[in-house]
Homo-oligomer: A and B are copies of this chain.
């Protein structure tokens, strides 16, 4: 590792105190083509380990360090490294803040943060301050203040950050993005999206198996139930907006010639989690008395500067098939697509008044990335999209250029959480989005999504 030239030249060695010296590194130095990206992993739970396994498949990455406070997860990573015949990297995790020592390592160029939500912004801020090109799992921030922390730290340090929204790379999503860019729908008017995923078996377990058994969470649960479920107990908000919102935000160039203006949000009563606890653990289960604040279905409607509206749904506490419920309506036609149904109607091309199966459209407008890397993407998780999001991160980091989805996107998309909470808490009163770009959205150019490199 010592033979490698640092590619982020002005990455000062910073201590755990992480002084606020700005690095302003953006675009200043690139990795030479033969150099590998030295990657640190902060958080190697199920999600971080998935990224790590995908990283092991690439020949342009060195796994330089890992951090997790859970020994069991370190052990699992060790097994994966052995299996891949790769030397175990430096390990951190002796305490909650040991990740800062990882960030001090000169031999780390970039980090991927896959930790519980409450750590996301804090760690991303520290990583940017340490000059590490930062990949942050979704959702990026929990409050408006945290949204600003991401933006201000990016602007202050010049260190790039990317929100690792994998759904933006779904094959159908990228094909529809291609169709939007090629004007198949004409001017876009309205979009729908959301996270409609029955997570009851994720939010509760028996403390031993991650999914499907038991009615415990928090200290008695493991994996996501150990931290995720508490958000449902105390926050009546769309706490997970980016899987739906990232793709549609990209289609209408949010933060790049357009922006979210305001939203209103509505929540149903909360029933699903209590029902699940009672059915799984019995009416006498100690969790059966809890009052869940999160409404079972949360509906947010966003107005954009360019006059589109977007419905975002959060529906995770009740039985239903998985669906991100995408819908794009333009002046020329409409597409509705989710995991199970994909239908389109384009005036003048589809049979009048009839839905058309989208298959031929998806093939015709297949994104160049999928055409080129589709075979590589298999077996990387979530139907291939995990390959693409890592690929985009790694290539952007190697070149040290702005990523496809940056700090402004992370802030704007994640802002739906606190804004929906405030709206619900105020009987649906509209909440304005901060302009995280400080007005620069009017001259920022759309990201060049339509390329076959990354």
* Interchain CA distance A355-B196 in the complex, whole Å: 13
Since A319-B345, A319-B346, A340-B354 are in contact, a sample of 10 more A-B pairs with Cβ atoms closer than 8 Å, ordered by chain A residue number, is A190-B299, A198-B353, A264-B301, A266-B309, A296-B331, A297-B309, A299-B301, A299-B309, A315-B329, A320-B329
* Interchain CA distance A341-B340 in the complex, whole Å: 12
Residues 269-310 of chain A: 1 if any B CB is under 8 Å from the residue's CB, otherwise 0?
Answer: 101100100000000000000000000110101110011110
Q: Report the nearest B residue to A322, measured CB to CB.
A: B353
B319-A347 in contact (CB<8A): yes
B266-A331 in contact (CB<8A): no
A427 on the interface (CB 8 Å rule)? yes
A427-B430 in contact (CB<8A): yes
Which of B198, B269, B303, B428 lies in contact with A189, CB distance below 8 A? B269
A445 on the interface (CB 8 Å rule)? no
Q: Report the nearest B residue to A269, measured CB to CB.
A: B307
A267 on the interface (CB 8 Å rule)? yes
Residues of B within 8 A of A315 (CB): 190, 329
Residues of B within 8 A of A264 (CB): 264, 266, 301, 428, 430
Which of B266, B301, B329, B333 lies in contact with A303, CB distance below 8 A? B266
| Most chain B Cβ neighbours within 10 Å, of A308, A320, A322, A347 | A320
Residues of B within 8 A of A322 (CB): 353
A355-B329 in contact (CB<8A): no
Q: Report the nearest B residue to A351, measured CB to CB.
A: B321
A251 on the interface (CB 8 Å rule)? no
Which of B190, B296, B354 lies in contact with A268, CB distance below 8 A? B190
CB within 8 Å of B: which A328-376 residues: 329-334, 340-341, 343, 345-347, 353-355
B189-A266 in contact (CB<8A): no
Give, as a whole number of angstroms, the nearest-CB distance from A332 to chain B.
7
* Interchain CA distance A263-B428 in the complex, whole Å: 8
27 contacts between A and B (CB under 8 A): A186-B275, A189-B268, A189-B269, A189-B318, A198-B353, A263-B428, A266-B302, A266-B303, A266-B309, A268-B308, A272-B331, A275-B331, A299-B301, A299-B309, A299-B311, A303-B427, A303-B428, A315-B329, A319-B334, A319-B345, A319-B346, A319-B347, A320-B329, A320-B333, A321-B345, A321-B355, A341-B355
Which of B271, B332, B355 lies in contact with A187, CB distance below 8 A? B271
List residues of chain A with CB under 8 Å of any chain B CB: 186-187, 189-190, 198, 262-264, 266-269, 271-272, 275, 296-297, 299, 301-303, 306-309, 311, 315, 318-322, 329-334, 340-341, 343, 345-347, 353-355, 427-430
* Interchain CA distance A309-B313 in the complex, whole Å: 12
Residues of B within 8 A of A187 (CB): 271
Residues of B within 8 A of A347 (CB): 319
Residues of B within 8 A of A309 (CB): 266-268, 297, 299
* Interchain CA distance A435-B272 in the complex, whole Å: 29
Q: Report the nearest B residue to A303, measured CB to CB.
A: B266
